[in-house]
């Protein structure tokens, strides 16, 4: 058996000149090729560093990778903290979080003192966060949602009690929509929206829960989404991940007070959907798309396969 490794790095193409989503192992048996996706981040795959100086480092976290060890996934053996520490050769200190299935900008301090300085910006709500999401249905042009939420009960924590609702505020802006001629739910067509989410508070699962509350759940959300739509995207559009990406984060430098804005490009899965639905022009920053996609490929409209 001839074994080869398929990976994406800075827009490079996989074997045969074709992009493969995520990080996969490719096994060749005779004349057939089999691709197996894994949520585990390969040891040899470096994390994409967006910014680094002597005090902080910002990366583009891939979907499916935990920030640190957690009871949420006891069997996971690889974490951003470990991978980044090994990659840059020094200890890193988290100052905020992203859910395991969420991709995008993630910032770390390079000392405990720097971490303390940076955490204050999140406490003071001076950090500007922008996310992209693909959701079910057509959303309004703009939505300001002030909807308090109870913190999710941690089933792994001992003797944890339900806490009172906490303030949670998110602004949503519609970027574009699409309708496909496929009956997935109870209608002959299925509609989706590309939205930008701007959370003003930082509650756990805030964007995901707020979109569920608005009846526009994120595609690929196993906990708060609609299974039929998520399965269709997984099975027919090669998009089996949560379609939520932290595309931009703006902070002040902890020592110079210089404004810093980090932008994280979309991965292959997300960017292919942007192309497929002809949403490239709706993106507010061309840096979001991988370098090889917008210039080399024109989005085309195809007839989507019907669910079996």
Distance CA 61, CA 269 (A): 14
What's the pLDDT score for residue 27? 32
> What percent of the chain clears pLDDT 70, i.e. is strictly above it?
74
What's the pLDDT score for residue 163? 81
What's the pLDDT score for residue 270? 97
Tokens of 49: 């560093």
* pTM, rounded to two decimals: 0.80
Distance CA 40, CA 70 (A): 15
Residue among 244, 229, 221, 242 at smallest CA distance from 190: 229
For 220-252, letters b (16+ CB in 10 Å) and e give bbeebbbeebbebbeebbebbbbbbbbbbbebe
Residue among 230, 197, 246 at smallest CA distance from 67: 246
pLDDT in tens, 28-53: 333 333 333 444 455 558 999 999 99
Contact call for residues 60 and 259 (beta carbons, < 8 A) = no
What's the pLDDT score for residue 22? 38
What's the pLDDT score for residue 25? 33
Q: Who contacts 12 (Cβ-Cβ below 8 Å, separation ≥6)?
A: none
Q: Who contacts 192 (Cβ-Cβ below 8 Å, separation ≥6)?
A: 134, 135, 136, 137, 177, 178, 179, 180, 219, 277
**Catalytic residue numbers, as ranges:** 99
Please report the domains of the chain, with CATH numbers, ordered by start residue. 1-38 (no CATH), 39-294 (3.30.2350.10)
Each residue's pLDDT tens digit in the chain (308 positions)? Answer: 333 333 333 333 333 333 333 333 333 333 333 333 444 455 558 999 999 999 999 999 999 999 987 656 566 667 899 999 999 999 999 999 999 999 999 999 999 999 999 999 999 999 999 999 999 999 999 999 999 999 887 665 566 677 899 999 999 999 999 999 999 988 899 999 999 999 999 999 999 999 999 999 999 999 999 999 999 999 999 999 999 999 999 999 999 999 999 999 999 999 999 999 999 999 877 777 764 444 343 333 344 555 55
For 54-92, letters b (16+ CB in 10 Å) and e give ebbbbbbbbbbbbbeeeeeeeebeebbbebbeeebeeeb
pLDDT in tens, 235-279: 999 999 999 999 999 999 999 999 999 999 999 999 999 999 999
For 286-296, letters b (16+ CB in 10 Å) and e give eebbbebbbee
Length of the chain: 308
Q: Three-state DSSP class for 264?
A: coil
Tokens of 40: 């585990």
What's the pLDDT score for residue 304? 54
- Cβ-count burial of 216 within 10 angstroms (0-12 exposed, 13-18 middle, 19+ buried)? buried
Contact call for residues 143 and 171 (beta carbons, < 8 A) = yes
């Amino acid at each position: 058996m001839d074994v080869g490794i398929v990976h994406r790095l800075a827009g490079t193409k996989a074997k045969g000149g074709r992009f493969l989503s995520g990080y996969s192992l490719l096994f060749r048996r005779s004349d057939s090729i089999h691709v197996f996706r894994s949520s585990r981040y390969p040891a040899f795959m470096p994390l994409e560093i967006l910014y680094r100086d002597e005090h902080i480092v910002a990366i583009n976290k891939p979907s499916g990778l935990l920030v640190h060890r957690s009871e949420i996934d006891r069997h996971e053996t690889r974490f951003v903290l470990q991978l980044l520490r090994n990659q840059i050769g020094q200890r890193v200190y988290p100052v905020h979080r992203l859910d395991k299935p969420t991709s995008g900008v993630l910032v770390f301090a390079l000392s405990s003192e720097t971490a303390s300085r940076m955490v204050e910006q999140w406490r003071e709500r001076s950090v500007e966060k922008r996310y992209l999401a693909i959701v079910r249905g057509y959303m309004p042009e703009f939505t300001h949602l002030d909807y308090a939420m109870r913190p999710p009960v941690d089933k792994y924590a001992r003797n944890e009690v339900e806490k009172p609702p906490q303030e949670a505020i998110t602004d949503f802006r519609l970027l574009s929509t699409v309708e496909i001629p496929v009956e997935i739910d109870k209608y002959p067509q299925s509609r989706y929206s590309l939205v930008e989410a701007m959370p003003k508070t930082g509650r756990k699962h805030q964007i995901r829960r707020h979109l569920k509350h608005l009846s526009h759940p994120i595609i690929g959300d196993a906990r708060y989404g609609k299974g039929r739509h998520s399965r269709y995207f997984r099975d027919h559009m090669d998009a089996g991940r949560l379609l939520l990406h932290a595309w931009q984060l703006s902070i002040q430098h902890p020592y110079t007070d210089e404004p810093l804005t980090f932008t994280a490009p979309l991965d292959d899965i997300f960017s292919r959907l942007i192309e497929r639905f002809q949403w490239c022009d709706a993106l507010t920053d061309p840096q979001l798309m991988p370098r090889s996609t917008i210039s080399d490929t024109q989005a085309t409209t195809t007839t989507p396969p019907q669910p079996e």
